[in-house]
Structure 1
């Protein structure tokens, strides 16, 4: 066994780490040299022709790396023969710690870089989910996608995918494969019922679309108070500039309060989440610890602290309402947990997903390997929320209403929470519209039941859309 490194004082963590992945080029036996040119943008030099890119060689390197960096490396079985597996993905799946690890994965470097670097993905360009009554509905459509071109909209009901009804897909666990391969031109048929219409069959073809992770914010005037509404859909390379642009608008409008909608945000770059938290909390939090990363015993010298920082157009808020669902995960949960020790954060909607861990990804030949390598805590030492962060004010994800609509159930509840203490300057006690039932442990007992997000793996789970 290699000697265990002596722990040392925490230091600043790499600025491009992900609760998803951070790209580093070291330790891949020079299989690929990575040059990070901008936040979230990975540029790669040519693969060294002397490096063995056979499956067996990649498997051997993967096993060696996992024994060194994997957060649960003490759970990797002994006697594993890396040559017995048909691919690095198969090997990783065999050795991951099933009790906790739902996230370590292997993906195509080209696909991963296009998504994190430019927000580009190949697919139908939509999110979908079950409503409280069990209907399967479109939750979000991305502009310029095949779904957008077909006229699909939030709230439309999906009855069948490629001729298979939703109950069968769910029962057989076919979500990862039901729409076919993620390549341009792959045909998909959807049987849908649009709002107020009869069932119809749509024929679509998958194509490249670009995600806007932070659309332009809305300014809501509520009884003379200016409340900013900001949808933050994910944390990828373009998010940095999009956040700065959005907060310039919010800052110029002099908003009194802010609603951050992360109901579908599955995570991404931790440093982009830190930027969001710094823009919310402002100068008062400058230099305070945002999150602490803790690695396995062999890598304790990699432990570090990321801190809030001063940046342009900060709002300096003392409270924020965050809309969340069971799809709110990873770096988006980090925003909530990281701000909690310093300002009042109300989680509106339902409990979050529960992913208090993150990754340092590396490239080997044409693949990106993303193992879980660290766990995260806030300045108060709070972490380990594998069951999700609890909701404060329960609210429905009202699929029949547009995102950002003040009448949509979750936005309406966030507004209620922010406005509930306006006339009570002495108490400053925000309240929910639906009180916690007597005897209930917390607000989650009052919420409408929400089904867990579709169980996906790998990069598909990171992207969160089809």
Structure 2
């Protein structure tokens, strides 16, 4: 059985939900369900709440759901919000490694104008050399129609929930906030694509402030099925440049980062922290069965990870660390914030994070002929002070909305970046937008985003 420990966030309505094949043999379902039950009884964080005699005749997706200790604000405030099952274990593992069938365009959907049922899509970023990039899409582009039909609150899901070719009709918002329908159309067909999460970096100099800026979209060490730490090494090279440039302030942009491998979170944090390889980055807490078995097999070191020595570490020179966050920042992003806080001041700018302080494990039984993949919650994460009080999300020190007019990465006109630069320099680099909505108003108008559909929403997992 293949196992990878993982932290995940599941968003209702957009998560990867498994579907039952009508031609599946019920006997195979029973075998699959027994496999699901055995693994859940051992691994599940809330194993004591699993029903003693579940119905093994259900289809695997329904059976898995029947085992969960589901969150309820009143009855089970400590319950499970994040476990999920996927019909293809192979597709599950690929998506967690950054590989998926996609147009290469991540976007958010918002009601616009406010008070109407009209919906527009706003492009958050575009993967280089992807179908969307080749079609001409860039960050900040707006589309109002798909396949000739205007988007609204009733049809957006049906129009966009496909892996087939789509035709987008572009629009724009003028200086007075009026949406202008365009005539430009762009065709995009999804392909299987590997995403490089280390997306953008640059340096700023404002007087004595030498500021490094990094945009990071997912905690992934390397391409799926590779074993070369390519993306971790890319971050190392960026911080080597920062160190050579005498950077004394750092901005990390995690606003679109739903999580990923904890090994990459540890590696990244080790480039920043004012800590040593003897210091604990995070602890993980399991149910009593996993705890007892793992302690006997691996010892106490199984339950924590320490920082690693990095020659590119700039922590000793840092006067300011600002992390940009949003309602899409989760899991490994939150773990890094929580893990760094005991060692240095961390200023959060942007939106409230998801609030995901529990971890899951990737389970597959392909060697037994089981095609399904499981992602059950198995652990809770804590920092070196044994703090794990972010289950409702980290509240930003400075609440800022990015708005609907998006600027290229690195442009100080971006409200989040501009505020981060102000927090460091004490000087407004650019003017604040007049009449901008509050963060709460903006979030109320947002319906969803494709970020929330990546690998089940938001995630973090541990190699084993």
Structure 2 residue aligned with 1:109: 89
The equivalences for 1:4-403 within 5 A come to 17-20=5-8, 54-85=28-59, 88-99=60-71, 100-107=79-86, 108-117=88-97, 119-130=98-109, 135-162=120-147, 163=149, 165-169=151-155, 174=157, 178-182=159-163, 186-194=164-172, 198-200=181-183, 201-238=185-222, 239-282=231-274, 284-301=275-292, 302=294, 304-316=303-315, 317=318, 319-365=320-366, 366-398=371-403, 399-403=405-409
Offset at residue 462 of structure 1 (A): 4.3
Q: Give deviations 1:433-466, integer Å, cap 9, x for gaps.
A: 99xxxxxxxxxx98654246728568342499xx
Find the residue that maps to 2:211 and give its secondary structure.
strand
What is the CA–CA distance in structure 2 between the aligned matches of 1:161 and 1:289, rounded to whole Å?
A: 49
Offset at residue 94 of structure 1 (A): 3.1
Offset at residue 149 of structure 1 (A): 1.8
Indicate whether 1:461 and 2:461 are aligned: no
**Structure 1 alignment gaps of length 5 or more:** 1-14, 22-51, 422-432, 435-444
What is the CA–CA distance in structure 2 between the aligned matches of 1:386 and 1:164, rounded to whole Å?
A: 38
Offset at residue 403 of structure 1 (A): 1.9
TM-score (norm 2): 0.75
Q: How many residues align?
A: 387
Task: Point out the more displaced range, 319-328 or 159-168.
Answer: 159-168
What is the CA–CA distance in structure 1 between the aligned matches of 2:334 and 2:250, rounded to whole Å?
A: 17
Offset at residue 338 of structure 1 (A): 0.6
Find the residue that maps to 1:167 and give its secondary structure.
coil
CA RMSD after TM alignment: 3.1
The equivalences for 1:426-437 within 5 A come to none
Going from structure 1 to structure 2, the CA distance change for 1:226 and 1:243 (only over 3 Å counts) comes to same
Going from structure 1 to structure 2, the CA distance change for 1:123 and 1:381 (only over 3 Å counts) comes to same
Q: Give deviations 1:44-89, integer Å, cap 9, x for gaps.
A: xxxxxxxx9933211111012112211122332343112222xx33
Structure 1 residue aligned with 2:21: none
Offset at residue 16 of structure 1 (A): 7.1
Find the residue that maps to 1:327 and give its secondary structure.
coil
Going from structure 1 to structure 2, the CA distance change for 1:460 and 1:18 (only over 3 Å counts) comes to closer
What is the CA–CA distance in structure 2 between the aligned matches of 1:384 and 1:68, rounded to whole Å?
A: 26
What is the CA–CA distance in structure 2 between the aligned matches of 1:77 and 1:190, rounded to whole Å?
A: 47
Higher relative contact order (CA 8 A, sep 6+): 2
What is the CA–CA distance in structure 1 between the aligned matches of 2:380 and 2:320, rounded to whole Å?
A: 26
Find the residue that maps to 2:143 and give its secondary structure.
strand
**Structure 2 alignment gaps of length 5 or more:** 10-25, 72-78, 115-119, 175-179, 223-230, 295-301, 433-437
Q: Give deviations 1:15-46, integer Å, cap 9, x for gaps.
A: 9743249xxxxxxxxxxxxxxxxxxxxxxxxx
Offset at residue 169 of structure 1 (A): 4.1
Offset at residue 159 of structure 1 (A): 1.8
Offset at residue 221 of structure 1 (A): 1.4
